[in-house]
Amino acid sequence: MMQRLDYLKETPSQTAGPYVHIGLVPNALGIPGIYPEDLGRAPVTDAAKGQRISITGRVIDGAGMVLRDALFETWQADAAGIYPVNDPRGPADPGVTGWARVAADFDTGIWRIDTVKPGRVPYPDGRLMAPHIAVWLVARGVNLGLQTRIYFDDEADANAACPVLGRIEHRERVATLLARHQGNGQYQIDFRLQGEGETVFFDM
Amino acid sequence: MTTTDQGPLYFRDRDWHPAAYTPGYKTSMTRAPFRPLVSLGSTLSEETGPAFGQAMIGELDNNLIMNFTGQPAIGERIILHGRVLDENGRGVPGVLVEIWQANAGGRYRHKKDGYLAPLDPNFGGCGRTLTDASGGYEFLTVRPGAYPWPNRVNDWRPMHIHLSVFGSGFGQRLITQNYFEGDPLIARCPIVQTIGQQKAIDVLVAPLDMNRAIPMDCLAYKFDIVLRGRRQSYFENRKEGL
ipTM here: 0.97
Asked if B110 lies within 8 A of A22 by C-beta distance, the reply is yes
pLDDT band, very low/low/confident/very high, at B6 (cuts 50, 70, 90): confident
Asked if A14 lies within 8 A of B191 by C-beta distance, the reply is yes
pLDDT band, very low/low/confident/very high, at B238 (cuts 50, 70, 90): low
Q: What's the pLDDT at A17?
A: 97
Q: What's the pLDDT at A194?
A: 98
Q: Determine the average pLDDT of the residues in B138-143.
A: 98
Catalytic residues of B: 108, 147, 157, 160, 162
Number of domains in chain B: 1
Q: Determine the average pLDDT of the residues in B154-163.
A: 98
E strand map for B44-189: 77-86, 96-100, 126-130, 136-142, 147-148, 156-157, 160-165, 174-180
In 3-state terms, what secondary structure has residue B28? helix
Closest residue in B to A16 (Cα–Cα): B175
How far off is chain B from A183, nearest CA to CA, in Å?
Answer: 27
Find chain B residues with C-beta within 8 A of A106's C-beta: 111
pLDDT score of B143 more than 80: yes
Residues A75 and B50: beta-carbon distance below 8 Å? yes
pLDDT band, very low/low/confident/very high, at B233 (cuts 50, 70, 90): low
Q: Which residues contact A73 (CB under 8 A, 6 or more apart)?
A: A40, A99, A100, A101, A102, A135, A136, B170, B173
Closest residue in A to B108 (Cα–Cα): A19
User: What's chain A's length in residues?
Assistant: 204
Asked if B175 lies within 8 A of A84 by C-beta distance, the reply is no
Q: Determine the average pLDDT of the residues in A42-62.
A: 98
Residue B235 lies in a domain: no
pLDDT band, very low/low/confident/very high, at B88 (cuts 50, 70, 90): very high
Q: What's the pLDDT at A1?
A: 85
User: What's chain B's length in residues?
Assistant: 242
Q: Name which of B6, B33, B201 is nearest A86 (Cβ-Cβ).
A: B6
Residue B121: CATH number of its domain:
2.60.130.10
Residue B199 lies in a domain: yes
Residue B8 lies in a domain: no
Residue B30 lies in a domain: no
Name the percent of chain A lying above pLDDT 90: 98
pLDDT score of A109 more than 90: yes
pLDDT score of B193 more than 90: yes
Closest residue in A to B98 (Cα–Cα): A23
Q: Name which of A129, A139, A202 is nearest B38 (Cβ-Cβ).
A: A202
Closest residue in B to A87 (Cα–Cα): B48
pLDDT band, very low/low/confident/very high, at A151 (cuts 50, 70, 90): very high
Q: Name which of A69, A146, A194 is nearest B34 (Cβ-Cβ).
A: A194
Find chain B residues with C-beta within 8 A of A129's C-beta: 43, 45
Q: Which residues contact B21 (CB under 8 A, 6 or more apart)?
A: B28, B29, B32, B34
Helix/strand number for chain B, H first, E second:
3, 12
Q: Name which of B22, B44, B194 is nearest A122 (Cβ-Cβ).
A: B44
Q: What's the pLDDT at B2?
A: 46
Q: What's the pLDDT at B51?
A: 96
Q: Which residues contact B207 (CB under 8 A, 6 or more apart)?
A: B181, B221, B222
B23 φψ region: left (φ > 0), alpha (ψ -120 to 50), beta (else): alpha
Mean pLDDT value across chain A: 97
Q: Name which of A10, A121, A164 is nearest B40 (Cβ-Cβ).
A: A164
Residue B4 lies in a domain: no
In tens, the pLDDT along B13-36 reads: 999 999 999 999 999 999 999 999
Find chain B residues with C-beta within 8 A of A23's C-beta: 98-100, 125-126, 162, 164
Closest residue in A to B68 (Cα–Cα): A34
Find chain A residues with C-beta within 8 A of B151's C-beta: none
Amino acid identity of B125?
G
Asked if B195 lies within 8 A of A75 by C-beta distance, the reply is no
Task: Give, as one character, the DSSP assignment of residue B91.
Answer: B
| Number of Cβ pairs < 8 A linking chain A and chain B | 284
Which domain range does residue B185 map to?
50-226
Q: Determine the average pLDDT of the residues in A159-168.
A: 98
Find chain B residues with C-beta within 8 A of A6's C-beta: 89
pLDDT score of B242 more than 50: no
Residue B82 lies in a domain: yes
Task: Pick from B4, B25, B40, B45 the residue to mutate for testing the A interface (most A CBs within 10 Å).
Answer: B45
Residue B215 lies in a domain: yes
Residue B107 lies in a domain: yes
Task: Give, as one character, the DSSP assignment of residue B152.
Answer: S
Name the percent of chain A lying above pLDDT 70: 100
In tens, the pLDDT along A78-104 reads: 999 999 998 999 999 999 999 999 999
Burial of B70 (0-12, 13-18, 19+ CB in 10 A): exposed
How far off is chain B from A140, nearest CA to CA, in Å?
Answer: 7
pLDDT band, very low/low/confident/very high, at B1 (cuts 50, 70, 90): very low
Backbone angles phi, psi at A57, to 5 degrees: 180, -170
Asked if B109 lies within 8 A of A203 by C-beta distance, the reply is no
Name the percent of chain B lying above pLDDT 70: 94
pLDDT score of B241 more than 80: no
pLDDT score of B228 more than 50: yes
Q: Determine the average pLDDT of the residues in B56-74.
A: 97
pLDDT band, very low/low/confident/very high, at B239 (cuts 50, 70, 90): low
H helices present in B43-97, as ranges: 44-47
Which residue, among B59, B77, B47, has the nearest Cα to B232 in the 3D structure? B47
Asked if A33 lies within 8 A of B204 by C-beta distance, the reply is no
Q: What's the pLDDT at B237?
A: 52
Residues B43 and A127: beta-carbon distance below 8 Å? no
